[in-house]
Amino acid sequence: MDTHFTLGRLMIDGSMAEDLADCYGTPTMLGDIVVTRVRSVVAGMVTVDGDVDPVDGEIANRHSVARREHFAFGDTKIELPSDVRAGDVLALVSKA
């Protein structure tokens, strides 16, 4: 699967991740990548659409230059830009 940033947005196999979320809803599974929306960020805990156990991730709908810090997804922690916020689209690499 080809993934890269174009104009500050994450492209997955030629489609913008944000467009995939808008067209197919969230969470959307593309191989081992889950495209989902952030519902809330409270005290270092990120809540997203669906049940995801990620090993890595990135904000997909905008380019962030904020420092990275660890955020919890249930029992798992991954690094994301510190300015992750409700409404962001994330591309998360799933464990399974």
What are 91's strand-pairing partners? Answer: 35, 58
51-76 pLDDT tens trace: 989 999 999 999 999 999 999 998 89
Contacts 24+ apart (CB under 8 A), 1-6: 1/30, 1/31, 1/33, 3/33, 3/91, 5/63
Per-residue model confidence (pLDDT) at position 19: 92
Per-residue model confidence (pLDDT) at position 8: 84
Residue pair 49/35 in contact by the 8 Å Cβ criterion: no
Separation between Cα atoms, residue 85 and residue 44, nearest integer Å: 11
Per-residue model confidence (pLDDT) at position 82: 97
Per-residue model confidence (pLDDT) at position 38: 97
The parts of the chain modelled with pLDDT lower than 50 are: none
Per-residue model confidence (pLDDT) at position 27: 95
Per-residue model confidence (pLDDT) at position 96: 64
Per-residue model confidence (pLDDT) at position 35: 95
Per-residue model confidence (pLDDT) at position 65: 92
